[in-house]
Structure formats: C-alpha cells, structure tokens
Amino acid sequence: MYWIISDTHFGHTNIIKYCDRPFKTVEEMDTTIINNINEKVKKTDILWHLGDFLYGRSELDLIARYKKYLSLINCKNIILIVGNHDKYLRKESVLREMFIMVLPYFVGYINGLPLTMNHRPLDDEKHNKQALITFRYKKMDCINLFGHTHNNSHLTPYNMSVENTNYKPVSLKEIQYRPFNHFKHPKKVPASTFIERFTIRNKVYT
C-alpha cells in the first residue's frame, strides 16, 4: 500500500510557531507524527515523503539525527522527494542510502493513477522546470501532490503538508477518490501507454 506525507520537519522547534502547530514542545510534535505514521503505515508498505524530513538545530550530528528518526518509523520503505531543507542529501550519499530512494520529483503512474509528486506545487515553475518538462513530454493529465506551502497557501486536497492532513500520512487509495485537480494536458495519454517503473531493493513496483 502507498502512503504520502510531507513537511514533517522533525526536530524543528520553530515550525510550531511558524505554522501554528498544536504542540507545546518539539518532542510532543515528533512523537505525535511518528505515532500517526506507525498506526497507519505497515512495515512493508511504501511511504512517499514529499520533502523537508527534518530541520533545526540539534546536539546530534546530521547522520545521527536521520538515523534517530528513521529508526522510530516502522516502515522501512521510505522514498524521499528532496525538499528545500533536505539539501544535505544531495552531497551526502550516506544520508541518501538511509532511504530506499531519493528523487528530485516523480512523474508517472502508480496503480494506474497519473501523478506528479514534487516538494513545491507544480505551478511554482521556477523550482519545477525539469518536472514540468517531463510532465509536458508525457502529455499527462495528472494529480499533483506536493508540500512546502504548509498551511500558508495552496490549501487543496493535494497539499500533503502535515498541517493539512491532521499530522497523518494519507493513503494513495484515499487520494484516488478526491476531485481531480487543475493540472491537465490537452492531449491525455491513457494509463496503459505509459507506466513509470522504479526498482526498490531489487523489486519492481508499477
């Protein structure tokens, strides 16, 4: 089963104030989000994280921080779409290897559902040039799943920032039945003509 979440900002104390999160401490925030993930997402499920996994200052070094939070999440099949606060993963292979896949974006079909997944919403053309090129090349009508904006803008059913999902991951099955959003291409390609395949630990998912 596929799940989506974004902008957890583990360890980021100030995000509570910036986004009016309903927590008194960063420890309470981290525990609540992790418990919510573990209650829904099974160990063998696939969790797409759309960026900004953690942020803020800590006594632990960066590698130790990633290890800490990932060890608390039961699901070990986590795919990360790189967010603006995940920049260290671009340089540190040891961090990327903690996830089963690290991607700049995704354009394709999962379970027959046409999707683009980005950290920023697709209408942010400045930061989504390559994704938009791929999107237009594939000529797909699609659902665009994103984060980054938290609860400040783009308050649609496709904003996966935790502030908009009650601090819980959302299943792809649930998203499938939400109203189709506005990212449409004039020449729709049937799902059967293009399947984005990706390999996860020697197993191919479509």
| Amino acid code (one letter) for 117 | M
Question: By three-state DSSP, how is residue 159 classified?
Answer: strand
Distance between CA 119 and CA 159 in Å, rounded?
10
Mean pLDDT within 160-182: 83
Mean pLDDT of 181-194: 39
Q: Global pTM?
A: 0.81
Q: Is the pLDDT of residue 196 over 70?
A: no
Of residues 31 and 142, the one with the higher pLDDT is: 31
Kindly list the distances between the CA atom of residue 153 and the CA atoms of 60, 98, 147, 150, 157, in Å, as whole numbers in the listed order.
Answer: 33, 31, 10, 7, 12
- Ranked by mean pLDDT, which of 12-16, 112-116, 153-157 comes out on top? 12-16
Per domain, the residue ranges of the chain are 2-205
pLDDT (0 to 100) of residue 133: 54
Q: Which CATH number applies to 2-205: 3.90.1300.10, 3.60.21.10, 1.10.10.60, 2.102.10.10?
A: 3.60.21.10
pLDDT tens digits, 49-63 = 999 999 877 778 889
